[in-house]
């Protein structure tokens, strides 16, 4: 069938638009870099880390402002002008006033500002540690989802091959038609598993992209992180009192203690001294004026703010104690979790090898007519389960290693951001 000229033009236009759409989709999707490189890139793009840096900048700005002294006050005052008798008796006074802070207010503010900066830096270090752990988990989850999709696709291929063999055996009269129906049902179940794995993979890569704050969507992982699950990594024994979370809580407690001192210093009244020159218009003479002023603390001695600061300190002490208990519990369980994950990984690897051999032998027996289809289906299901357990075991070992590294305050897998 030949195409007319308008039809050819429409076909070229459609092909061009389709190609443009494919190229646009490819431009908006990139493979994720290796975990080490991704962790370095995330330092500049991750919103969570940007927030932590902004908090440090905020604390540093407040600390600089805390060292500022009160500004002096300049004043000009005119008295006794425009009298009723017409005599010019105006007196003009130019003065300067300066408030002198007493009670160590400025030094207390400076110390509190420095403590707040240190607390912000400790919180940023803790946020970095938590983010690295979460990024490792998201990367491993995307990696695992990618492998689960591959596994589901392989399972579909095996199911289709089993169905083909079942059809041949049914047509040759060696199997009942029920076996063909069972094999086709297994193919449909395998297709559903592929669709489910594909959706889980898309979700995992979307979460990874969002966590990094990448401008393009990641669609694949060329360098698998799960391969590192089999490596033996040396992570220092965690010290609960050196964990980033505990150090952040400790710095916040110290900052709260400094704020108590600031509020106590506010109870001491400040002194305002003034000095000026007064000119009397009547006789064109001048005179010096000076004064001292101080609030009389009858109604307020800052008691409410002092009580609030003390309560905040008590809360910070409680958070510090909670962080210590959590770190000690995590230290006790972290090493055991890594050991258990290693044992599980070894068992899963051996189980996968056994399941592969069992499926190979079962398929040979089924093709030779010595085993029933149900035996083949069970062997294939056992192989799929064994491979899934291998992926889960590798993911768990990576998670256990990352959790231990987070507690020790070091990057996981020997990576440096």
CATH assignment at residue 263: 1.20.1600.10
Return all residues near 307 (Cβ < 8 A) that are at least 6 apart. Answer: none
Query: What is the domain extent for residue 70?
Result: 34-82+92-226+236-294+322-414
Provide the whole-model pTM: 0.79
Structural domain includes residue 395: yes
CA dihedral 379, 382, 384, 390 (to 10 degrees): -140
Sheet holding 73-79, edge to edge: 73-79, 91-100, 271-280, 285-293
- What one-character-per-residue DSSP string does 293-310 give? E----SS--SHHHHHHHH
Residue 349: inside a domain, yes or no? Answer: yes
- Residue 244 inside a domain? The answer is yes
The predicted structure's pLDDT at residue 232: 65
Asked, for residue 305, whether it belongs to a domain, the answer is: no
Q: Is residue 178 part of a domain?
A: yes
Q: How many domains in the chain?
A: 1
Rg for the chain (alpha carbons), in Å? 38
Q: Are strands 29-31 and 217-220 parallel, antiparallel or unpaired?
A: parallel
Tens-of-pLDDT digits for all 417 residues of the chain? 444 444 444 434 333 433 343 333 433 458 889 888 999 999 999 999 999 999 999 999 999 999 999 999 999 999 887 776 666 778 899 999 999 999 999 999 999 999 999 999 999 999 999 999 999 999 999 999 999 999 999 889 988 988 888 888 788 877 678 878 888 898 999 999 999 999 999 999 999 999 999 888 899 888 888 887 777 666 667 888 999 999 999 999 999 999 999 999 999 999 999 999 999 887 889 999 999 999 998 898 999 999 999 999 999 999 999 999 999 999 888 888 888 988 998 999 999 999 999 989 998 987 787 887 778 888 888 988 898 899 999 889 888 888 888 888 887 875 544
Residue 277 lies in a domain: yes
Dihedral angle sign, alpha carbons of residues 82, 84, 87, 89 = negative
Answer yes or no: is 392 within a domain: yes
Structure-block tokens of residue 378 = 């069970």
Q: What is the β-pairing status of strands 91-100 and 271-280?
A: antiparallel
């Amino acid at each position: 069938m030949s195409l007319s000229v308008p039809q050819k033009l429409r076909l070229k236009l459609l092909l061009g638009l389709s190609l443009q759409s494919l190229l646009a989709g490819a431009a908006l999707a990139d493979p994720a870099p290796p975990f080490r490189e991704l962790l370095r890139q995330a330092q500049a793009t991750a919103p969570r880390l940007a927030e932590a840096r902004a908090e440090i900048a905020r604390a540093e700005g407040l600390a600089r402002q805390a060292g500022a002294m009160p500004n002096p006050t300049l004043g000009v005052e005119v008295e006794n002008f425009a009298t009723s008798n017409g005599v010019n008796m105006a007196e003009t006074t130019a003065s300067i006033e300066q408030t002198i802070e007493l009670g160590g207010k400025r030094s207390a503010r400076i110390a509190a500002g420095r403590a707040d900066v240190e607390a912000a830096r400790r919180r940023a270090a803790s946020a970095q540690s938590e983010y690295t752990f979460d990024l490792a988990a998201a990367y491993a989850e995307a990696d695992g989802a990618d492998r689960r999709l591959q596994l589901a696709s392989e399972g579909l291929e095996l199911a289709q091959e089993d169905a083909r063999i079942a059809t041949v055996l049914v047509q040759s009269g060696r199997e009942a038609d029920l076996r063909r129906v069972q094999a086709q049902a297994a193919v449909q179940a395998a297709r559903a598993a592929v669709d489910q794995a594909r959706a889980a993979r898309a979700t995992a890569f979307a979460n990874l992209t969002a966590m990094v704050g990448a401008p393009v969507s990641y669609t694949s992982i060329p360098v698998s992180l799960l391969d590192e699950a089999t490596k033996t990594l040396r992570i220092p024994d965690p010290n609960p009192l050196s964990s980033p979370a505990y150090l952040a809580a400790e710095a916040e407690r110290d900052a709260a203690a400094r704020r108590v001192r600031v509020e106590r210093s506010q109870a001491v009244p400040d002194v305002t001294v003034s000095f000026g020159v007064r000119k009397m218009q009547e006789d064109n003479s001048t005179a010096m004026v000076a004064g001292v002023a101080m609030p009389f603390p009858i109604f307020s001695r800052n008691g409410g703010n002092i009580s609030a600061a003390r309560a905040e300190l008590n809360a910070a002490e409680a958070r510090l104690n909670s962080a210590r208990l959590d770190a000690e519990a995590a230290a006790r369980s972290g090493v055991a979790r890594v050991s258990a994950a290693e044992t599980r990984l070894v068992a899963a690897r051996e189980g996968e090898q056994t399941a592969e051999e069992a499926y190979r032998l079962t398929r040979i027996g089924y093709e030779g007519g010595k085993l029933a289809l149900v035996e083949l289906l069970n062997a294939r299901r056992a192989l799929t389960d064994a491979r899934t357990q291998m992926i889960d075991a590798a993911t768990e070992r990576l998670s256990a290693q990352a959790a231990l590294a987070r507690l020790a305050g070091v990057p996981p897998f020997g990576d440096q951001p």
